[in-house]
Structure 1
Amino acid sequence: MSIKLGIIGGGQLAWMMSDAANKLGVELIVQTPNQDDPAVSIAQETVFGAVDDAAATEILASKCDIITFENEFVNLDALYLLEQQGVCFRPRLAALSPLLDKYHQRCYLQDLGLPVPQFFALEKPEDIQTKIENWDFPIVLKARRHGYDGQGTFVIHDLASLSKVVNQKNTQFLVEEFVPFKKELAIIAARSVNGEIVTYPVVETQQQQQVCRRVIAPADITPQQVAEIQAIAHTLLNSLQVVGVFGIELFITADGKILVNEIAPRTHNSGHFSLDACETSQFEQHLRAVCGLPLEHTQLNCTSAIMVNLLGYENSHSDYQSQRQQLAAIPHAHLHWYGKTESRPGRKLGHLTVLLEQQNEQTALDIIHQIESIWYPPEKFS
């Protein structure tokens, strides 16, 4: 008898669970607001409702054995009532609670003794004068809730700009020191119902306008730095008693210091390369974890890999068939197209992973340039 797994959220992260679900005999039931969301096409059944629609989640719960999350923009208070009625959430809601507000997340990481940038909460405009006086610009300003792919994140260069953004946006903010990092890194980690933890290779992520554009696996860092990052993942997942996959984003500074940037309590863009480049994808691993199945190996099945996000650069309803055919023809390339019906600047429409026989920075850069020169028109290519 197959496990019926409910997923709150119907975007590409849920869509990419399809092959693993078929392999493992897991029936996916998705809660999502729109008929054209990617995961609707692969779900056995869909409950239409926003991810924070508790009434829709109650219907979802009646149709499945376990509920997991494709994104974290949920109404925890309402879900706690369902949990008290016996609904099984994995990860458990208590594991999500410290992470959904970015200020609370920072405090939680700091309390665990994990290295984080300096930070404080900016709850009202008057706090600017009292809290910022000893800080140097630039600083990073983040909305405490509902920010992703650069939305709600601002690099601020002076006091006037800070005041303008804070007064324009009706929300609470987290202020962080700007970290002049050498590289941005990420690690995907999974924890089972029995407390077993596996980690994927640490990767380098390259962002533009706070949106992930490229991932290089593995990252070119020392074994000691890899071990430090793996230890951070173990500390965090064990403290939260997570069941499932988490993505952890980090900085490495010029002097080799590791700092935790943000936690994603779900599968993550930095782990998409695992679909083609690893023994077990992050999506299969997540299903294994939340369904109580043994975790599997995470090592690369190639020497290295690059993943390039295919980001929207215009408002369009094109399916970009010509570019997709050219990209798919690149040797050792694996194209994943999410089937979204609308393109807009910065929207993730798909990704391309290329497997490499050697770990060579120049080769990786050349292939990235080839991919992006095919995908972006000349005036958008940079």
Structure 2
Amino acid sequence: MKRVGVIGGGQLAWMMADAAQKLGVELVVQTPSENDPAVSIAKETIFAPVDDAAATGILANKCDIITFENEFVNLQALTDLAQQGVCFRPKLEALAPLLDKYHQRCYLRDLGLPVPRFFALDDVENIKSKIEYLGFPVVLKSRRHGYDGQGTFIIQDFASLEEKLSCESTTQTSNQSLFLLEEFIPFERELAIIAARSVEGEIVTYPVVETQQEQQVCRRVIAPAQITPNQVAEIEAIAHTLLNSLEVVGIFGIELFLGADGKVLVNEIAPRTHNSGHFSLDACETSQFEQHLRAVCGLPLGNPALQCPGAIMVNLLGYENSDSDYQSQRQKIAEIPQAHLHWYGKTESRPGRKLGHVTVLLDNPNRESAIANDIAHSIESIWYPR
């Protein structure tokens, strides 16, 4: 029986539980809090921050392989462990160009993949000339540790940019060098693809999905996205190029923009299982979580195909500070036909926090989009207070 160490104990690690049991894999988790979701399913837990390399050394002694639930790690410190023979999958060299969003943009550009125009915000004197090149609005991003909309700001004018930089720098005791400035893309819709690569270099891709964001936080995912076969082929080719270039072992999530002109641009890369692939738990033959464990354990990859015409996944986000388990709302949502509700067991709710998700399987491929939006509205009318 293989033992897989997982750095991070949130819901992404928690959702590996069923797949681990199916594959005969034991999970050992490194996470800071006994209240983190994956603690309840782990064979053993190392209670420590995810960037604590000394704790990861202890984790390594208990496992055959170490993988990642999030990317908030100390890569330099982990390199010492890798040099001592600790097996990380994906390997640290695959993570290195991706953890800093400016370095990620440069890597994608140098691979010839389509990305928005961008700059590192490391030269205060030249900010105005960069703004003149990009034009307002612009997108300001933290280069590290941004997720679920945190660290991403749409800026409408120069005064707002100066104010935001001053505020963020004071808050983070940092400076402009920790920010990325890029052009705002007036996209028609946002898309994503989950792709996996095996130890032998085999790649499988899940259906391209449409993601619907509000305030830079994913609210809904519709599978499959209603786009052209050529656009699907282009996105699959992007995934193959990226995973092969990095020699990835495991699952990656790739977020994209589809412009009004039909052009595809890469937005961001997540080197792990991803929110845009949660639908696969209920709608696909092999979930993204099983696929990731298959890849990192050196097992044959599974079939990623949909087992139904389509699906919609709706995130259940916190909207208040509370310790409620929202049992009444959850029960009503679970009664929706073909609904599959996943509750992460978090003990605290706060605005924007992902508390769970629900996937509803769809029967009619010709009316997916309209039906999906109606279902999403029904779920959200139950979940969010009027």
Bin of the TM-score, shorter chain as denominator length: over 0.9
Aligned to 2:377: 369
SS in 2 for 1:134: helix
The separation in 2 between residues aligned to 1:134 and 1:190, in whole angstroms, is: 37
- Does the aligned pair in 2 maintain the 1:184–1:206 contact within 8 Å? yes
User: Scaled by the length of structure 1, what TM-score is found?
Assistant: 0.98
Q: CA deviation at 1:195?
A: 0.1
1:298 partner SS: coil
Judge conservation of contact 1:247–1:268 (CA < 8 Å) in 2: yes
Q: What is the Cα deviation at residue 49 of structure 1?
A: 0.5
Give the alignment of 1:216-255 within 5 angstroms: 216-255=222-261
CA contact (8 A) 1:279 1:301 kept: yes
Residue by residue over 1:111-148, the C-alpha shift from the partner in whole angstroms, topping out at 9 and shown as x without a partner, is 00000000000025444234323331000000000000
Aligned partner of 2:319 in structure 1 is: 313
Question: Does 1:19 find its partner at 2:27?
Answer: no
Does the alignment pair 1:98 with 2:97? yes
Q: Which stretch of structure 1 is more off in the superposition, 115-124 or 196-205?
A: 115-124
CA distances 1:180-216 after superposition (whole Å, capped 9, x unpaired): 0001000000000000000000000000000000000
In 1, the alpha carbon distance for the partners of 2:194 and 2:133 equals 36
Structure 2 SS opposite 1:204 = strand
Is residue 197 from structure 1 mapped to residue 196 from structure 2 by the alignment?
Answer: no
1:318-357 → structure 2 map (5 Å cutoff)? 318-357=324-363
- Aligned match of 2:77: 78
Structure 1 segments of 4+ aligned residues over 3 angstroms from their partners: 124-127
Q: Distance in 1 between matches of 2:266 and 2:363?
A: 31
- 144-153 vs 170-179, which deviates more? 170-179
* CA contact 1:99–1:105 (8 Å) conserved in 2: yes
Match of 1:135 in 2: 134
Letter of the aligned partner of 1:330 in structure 2? I
State the shift of 1:28 in Å: 0.1
**How far apart in 2 are the matches of 1:50 and 1:22?**
26
SS in 2 for 1:142: strand
Q: Which residue of 2 aligns with 1:182?
A: 188
Aligned: 1:211 with 2:217: yes
Structure 1 gap segments, 5+ residues each: none
Q: How far does the alpha carbon of each residue in 1:275-321 deviate from its partner, in whole angstroms, 9 at most, with x for none?
A: 00001000000000000000010110000000000000000000000
The secondary structure found in structure 2 opposite 1:326 is helix
- The offset of 1:166, in angstroms, is 1.0
The 8 Å contact of residues 210 and 221 in structure 2, kept in 1 or not, is answered as yes
> What is the root-mean-square deviation of aligned Cα atoms in Å?
0.8
Would the aligned equivalents of 2:117 and 2:134 in 1 still touch at CA under 8 Å? no
1:225-283 Cα distance to aligned partner (Å, 9 max, x none): 00000000000000000000000000000110000000000000000000000010000
Aligned residue for 2:105, secondary structure, equals helix
Structure 2 equivalent of residue 109 of structure 1: 108
* Partner residue in 2 for 1:44: 43
User: Which amino acid in the other structure matches residue 227 of structure 1?
Assistant: A
Q: C-alpha offsets along residues 143-165 of structure 1, whole Å, 9 cap, x if unaligned?
A: 00000000000000000000111
Contact 1:10-1:40 at 8 Å conserved across structures: yes
| TM-score (normalizing by structure 2) | 0.97
